[in-house]
C-alpha cells in the first residue's frame, strides 16, 4: 500500500447543511484527506455520510463551514464548481451510466466535451481503462446490456477517464448482487494501490480493514470517530462507534 | 397449407368463445370491405379526382411554374432514398446491417406496385404517369446507391442526413415561393396537398425547438421563466385552435416583426406553430420527468456544464421517451391544418370544398372525401412508421435483432 503524502487534498471544516424543509443533515462535520490517502466513511443510514461527500464536488451546497478541495475553496462561484468537478470524480450507488450511449462513449463524452481533448486520443485511453477494469470486450455495448457489476466497473472507468486527482465513492456496492460485489471491490483495491486519493462511503468492512488508511464513523451529521482501521475495528474510543460495530459485525 | 390452418385454428378458433367472436368479426369486416369495394368499383365516378388531380396536389399554382414543384418532389424523393439507404449502411454498432432486410423488401415492393399501378389506374396522362414512374425508380436507385456505397464515407454519411434535410427545406421554400431569379409565386396561389404539407411541416419544424425550450422553462429554477412558460402553455391549451386562428388573422401582424407575417398563409402557419409548441412542451416535460436525477448529477460530476449536460445527457433520453407522444402531436397537427379551410385558405380540405361546389361534380362528395381520408392517412402513416423506426434505433435496451 502506498503511503499518503502530507499534502492536503480535501479539508472540510465544521460543515453544516440544512435542507429547505428545515432538516439539518450536517452538524459541523470536519474531515481532512491527504494526497494518496484512502478514507472510508461508515455510519448508520441517515447519518449524513452521502451528503457529506456530495458536498466535496458541490453536488450539495452547504450553509456554514468551509471546504477546500485540491486548493480550490468551494463557494457559490460557478467557475469554482466547474474547476472542482474536473478534479473530483464520483462513483454512484446507482451507477448512473448514460443509457443512450455505448460503453466507450460513456467514457469519452466528458474528456472530449470538457477537457477538449481529441477524440481518438481519449478513445485510446478509454480502451486502456476498460482493459484495466476488465471489460474491454463490452466497449460497443450499451449499459442496459451489462450486469450490475460490469456497469459499476464502467462507471469507475468513466470517472477515471477524466484523470481526476480525487475519486469519491457513494456506496458503490450497495445496489449490487452479492456475487458482483467482489469484482467491484477488487477494481477499487487496485486503484487504491495507485497514487489516487479516494473517499469511500461503504458498509464493506473487509474493504475498510484492508484497503483504507483511515476509517471514519459518522452519526447524526457529525464525524464521531476517526482512526486507523486496526484501531477503529478493535479498540474504538467512542461508545457510539462500539454500538455501530456491534450492529454490523 | 396445413401449417396455416393450424395457426388459424390456434389464433382464431382456440375456444368456443374465440370461434364465435372470430366468425362475427370476420363477417362484419367482410361486409364492410365488400360494401366499400363494390361502391368504389361500380358506383363511384372517379373522374372528379382525375380531372382535378392537379388542383388537389398544388391548388392554383401557376401551370407554367409547376415544374418547380416536380423538381422539389424529385429532390425530396432522392433525399428520402439517400436517408433510407444511409441508415441501412450505418446500423447501430450493436446491430448488424443488411442492405435489404425483409421490411425493406416489402416496402420497396409496395412502392413499385403502387407507383406503377396507381398513376395508370387513375388514368393520368402519359407524361405524368411517366414522371411518377421516374420518381419511384429514382427513389429505389438512390436508396440502392446510398446503401451500397454509404459505408465508404464513414460517420460523415449520417451527418449528411442531418444536414441534407434542413438545406432541402430551404431550397424547397425558395423553389415554391420564388426569388433568387425564379418568378415569385404568392402564397395566395398555393393550395391543395402542397399547402397542407407546407403549413404542417413548417409548424412541426418550428414548434419542436420552441416546445423544448418551453418544457425546460417550465422546470427552470428561475421563477419568471417558469411562470412565463406555465402561463403560455396553459393559455394556449385552454383555447380552441380555431379561435386562435381567427385571432391570428387579426392580431399576429402586430406581434411579429414586419415581413415575417404579412401573408395570411404565414400568419396561419405561425399560429399552428405556437399552438403545437404548447402541446409539444407537455410531451417533452413528461420525457424530462422520466430521466432520473442521477443522470444530471453524473454528468455534472464529470464536469459538464448545465447546458452541456442537458444537451448531451438529459435531452437525448427525454426526447426518446417523449417521441411517441410528440409524433402523436405532429399527427394531430397535420390533421388540424384542415381548419385552415375555415379561414379561407385552400389547403386540401378547402380545395376539396371548391371542387364539390362545382356543379359539374355535384354529388361526388363520397369520392372526394375518401380520397382526402386516404391522403391524410398516408401522410400520418408515414410519420408513424418513421417514428417507430427512430424509436427502435434509439432504444438503448433493445437486444440485437436478426434481420
Q: Out of A37-51, A186-200, B98-112, which region has the weakest mean confidence (pLDDT)?
A: B98-112
How many domains, in total, are found in chain A? 1
pLDDT at B314 over 70: yes
- The reply to whether A161 falls in a domain is no
- From residue B30, alpha-carbon distances to A53, A117, B36, B42, B223 in Å are 69, 65, 10, 17, 59
- The reply to whether A113 falls in a domain is no
- Give residue-wise pLDDT tens across range B163-199: 888 899 888 888 888 878 788 888 888 888 989 998 9
- Do B301 and A109 lie within an 8 Å CB cutoff? no
Residues A198-236 as b/e (b if ≥16 CB within 10 A, e otherwise) read bbbbbebbebbeebbbbbbbbbbbbbbbbbebeebbeeb
* Rounded distance between C-alpha atoms, residue B220 and residue B222, angstroms: 5
Eight-class DSSP state of B292: -
- Do B304 and A114 lie within an 8 Å CB cutoff? yes
Give the residue on B whose Cα is nearest the Cα of A158: B302
- The reply to whether A151 falls in a domain is no
Q: Which three cell numbers stand for residue A30?
A: 470536519
Read off the pLDDT of each residue in A136-159 and give the average, rounded to a whole number: 90
Could you give the ipTM of this predicted complex? 0.90
- The reply to whether A50 falls in a domain is yes
* Rounded distance between C-alpha atoms, residue B347 and residue B336, angstroms: 11
* Rounded distance between C-alpha atoms, residue B347 and residue B309, angstroms: 42
Q: How many CB atoms lie within 10 A of CB B344?
A: 11
What's residue B401's pLDDT? 42
* Rounded distance between C-alpha atoms, residue A249 and residue B22, angstroms: 65
Residue B284, min C-alpha distance to chain A (Å)? 17
Range(s) of the domain holding residue A17: 8-96+169-248
How many residues belong to chain A? 249
- The model's confidence at residue B403, banded by pLDDT at 50, 70 and 90, is very low
pLDDT at B400 over 50: no
CA B314, A135, A40, A171: dihedral to nearest 10 degrees?
A: 40
Residue A111 in contact with residue A161, Cβ under 8 Å?
A: yes
Mean per-residue pLDDT over chain B, rounded:
85
Residue B94, min C-alpha distance to chain A (Å)? 6
CATH level 3 topology of B191-403: MetI-like fold (1.10.3720)
A20 contact residues in B (CB cutoff 8 A): none
CATH label of the domain that carries residue A214: 3.40.50.300
Helix axes of B66-89 and B156-177: crossing angle, nearest 10 degrees: 170
- The reply to whether A104 falls in a domain is no
- Do B302 and A141 lie within an 8 Å CB cutoff? no
- The reply to whether A38 falls in a domain is yes
Q: Which three cell numbers stand for residue B171?
A: 431550397
Q: Give the H/E segment covering residue A72.
A: strand A72-73
pLDDT at A168 over 90: yes
- Do B399 and A145 lie within an 8 Å CB cutoff? yes
Backbone angles phi, psi at B86, to 5 degrees: -65, -40
Q: Which three cell numbers stand for residue B400?
A: 440485437
Pairs across A and B, CB distance < 8 A: 76
pLDDT at B379 over 70: yes
Q: Could you tell me which residues of chain B have a Cβ less than 8 Å from any Cβ in chain A?
A: 93-94, 292, 294-295, 297-305, 308, 312-313, 316-317, 320, 394, 396-397, 399
Residue A191 in contact with residue A137, Cβ under 8 Å?
A: no
* Rounded distance between C-alpha atoms, residue B361 and residue B363, angstroms: 6
A109 contact residues in B (CB cutoff 8 A): 302, 304, 312-313
- Smallest Cβ–Cβ distance between A99 and the set B297, B312, B317 belongs to B317
DSSP characters for B131-180?
HHHHHHHHHHHHHHHHHHHGGGGTTHHHHHHHHHHHHHHHHHHHHHH-BT
Interface test with A, best of B298, B320, B395 (most A CBs within 10 A): B298
- The model's confidence at residue B60, banded by pLDDT at 50, 70 and 90, is confident
B291 contact residues in A (CB cutoff 8 A): none
Amino acid at each position: 500500500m502506498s503511503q499518503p503524502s502530507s499534502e492536503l487534498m480535501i479539508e472540510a471544516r465544521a460543515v453544516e447543511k440544512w435542507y429547505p424543509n428545515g432538516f439539518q443533515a450536517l452538524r459541523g462535520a470536519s474531515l481532512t484527506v491527504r494526497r494518496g490517502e484512502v478514507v472510508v466513511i461508515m455510519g448508520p443510514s441517515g447519518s449524513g455520510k452521502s451528503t457529506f461527500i456530495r458536498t466535496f464536488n458541490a453536488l450539495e451546497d452547504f450553509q456554514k463551514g468551509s471546504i477546500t478541495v485540491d486548493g480550490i475553496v468551494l463557494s457559490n462561484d460557478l467557475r469554482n464548481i466547474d474547476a472542482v468537478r474536473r478534479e473530483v470524480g464520483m462513483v454512484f450507488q446507482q451507477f448512473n451510466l448514460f443509457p443512450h450511449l455505448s460503453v466507450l462513449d460513456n467514457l469519452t463524452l466528458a474528456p472530449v466535451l470538457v477537457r477538449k481533448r481529441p477524440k481518438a486520443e481519449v478513445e485510446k485511453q478509454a480502451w486502456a481503462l476498460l482493459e484495466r477494469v476488465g471489460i474491454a470486450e463490452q466497449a460497443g455495448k450499451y449499459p442496459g446490456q451489462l450486469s450490475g457489476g460490469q456497469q459499476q466497473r464502467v462507471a469507475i472507468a468513466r470517472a477515471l477517464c477524466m484523470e481526476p486527482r480525487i475519486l469519491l465513492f457513494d456506496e458503490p456496492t450497495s445496489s449490487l448482487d452479492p456475487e458482483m460485489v467482489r469484482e467491484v471491490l477488487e477494481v477499487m483495491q487496485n486503484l487504491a494501490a495507485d497514487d489516487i486519493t479516494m473517499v469511500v462511503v461503504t458498509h464493506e468492512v473487509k474493504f475498510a480493514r484492508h484497503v483504507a488508511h483511515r476509517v471514519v464513523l459518522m452519526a447524526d451529521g457529525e464525524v464521531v470517530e476517526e482512526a486507523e482501521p486496526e484501531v477503529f475495528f478493535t479498540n474504538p474510543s467512542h461508545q457510539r462507534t462500539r454500538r455501530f460495530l456491534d450492529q454490523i459485525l | 397449407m396445413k401449417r396455416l390452418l393450424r395457426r388459424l385454428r390456434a389464433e382464431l378458433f382456440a375456444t368456443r368463445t374465440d370461434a364465435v367472436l372470430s366468425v362475427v368479426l370476420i363477417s362484419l369486416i367482410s361486409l364492410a370491405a365488400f360494401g366499400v369495394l363494390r361502391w368504389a368499383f361500380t358506383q363511384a365516378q372517379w373522374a372528379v379526382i382525375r380531372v382535378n388531380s392537379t388542383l388537389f396536389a398544388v391548388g392554383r399554382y401557376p401551370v407554367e411554374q409547376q415544374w418547380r414543384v416536380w423538381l422539389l418532389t424529385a429532390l425530396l424523393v432522392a433525399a428520402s432514398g439517400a436517408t433510407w439507404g444511409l441508415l441501412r449502411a450505418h446500423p447501430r454498432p450493436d446491430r448488424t446491417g443488411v442492405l435489404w432486410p425483409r421490411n425493406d423488401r416489402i416496402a420497396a415492393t409496395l412502392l413499385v406496385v403502387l407507383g406503377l399501378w396507381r398513376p395508370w389506374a387513375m388514368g393520368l396522362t402519359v407524361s405524368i404517369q411517366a414522371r411518377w414512374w421516374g420518381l419511384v425508380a429514382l427513389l429505389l436507385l438512390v436508396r440502392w446507391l446510398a446503401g451500397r456505397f454509404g459505408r465508404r464515407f464513414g460517420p460523415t454519411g449520417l451527418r449528411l442526413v442531418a444536414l441534407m434535410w434542413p438545406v432541402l427545406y430551404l431550397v424547397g421554400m425558395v423553389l415554391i415561393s420564388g426569388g433568387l431569379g425564379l418568378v415569385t409565386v404568392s402564397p395566395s396561389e398555393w393550395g391543395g396537398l402542397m399547402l397542407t404539407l407546407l403549413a404542417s411541416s413548417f409548424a412541426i419544424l418550428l414548434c419542436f425547438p420552441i416546445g423544448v425550450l418551453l418544457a425546460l422553462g417550465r422546470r427552470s429554477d428561475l421563477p419568471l421563466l417558469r411562470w412565463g412558460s406555465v402561463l403560455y402553455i396553459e393559455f394556449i391549451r385552454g383555447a380552441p385552435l380555431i379561435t386562435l386562428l381567427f385571432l391570428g388573422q387579426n392580431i399576429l401582424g402586430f406581434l411579429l416583426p414586419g415581413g415575417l407575417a404579412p401573408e395570411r398563409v404565414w400568419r396561419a402557419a405561425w399560429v399552428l406553430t405556437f399552438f403545437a409548441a404548447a402541446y409539444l412542451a407537455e410531451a417533452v416535460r413528461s420525457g424530462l420527468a422520466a430521466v432520473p436525477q442521477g443522470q444530471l448529477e453524473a454528468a455534472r460530476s464529470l464536469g459538464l456544464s448545465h447546458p452541456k449536460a442537458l444537451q448531451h445527457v438529459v435531452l437525448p433520453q427525454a426526447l426518446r421517451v417523449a417521441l411517441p407522444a410528440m409524433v402523436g402531436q405532429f399527427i394531430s397537427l397535420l390533421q388540424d391544418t384542415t381548419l385552415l379551410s375555415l379561414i379561407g385558405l385552400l389547403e386540401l380540405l378547402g380545395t376539396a370544398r371548391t371542387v364539390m361546389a362545382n356543379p359539374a361534380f355535384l354529388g361526388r362528395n363520397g369520392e372526394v372525401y375518401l380520397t382526402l381520408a386516404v391522403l391524410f392517412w398516408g401522410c400520418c402513416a408515414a410519420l408513424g412508421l418513421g417514428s417507430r423506426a427512430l424509436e427502435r434505433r434509439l432504444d438503448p435496451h433493445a437486444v440485437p435483432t436478426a434481420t
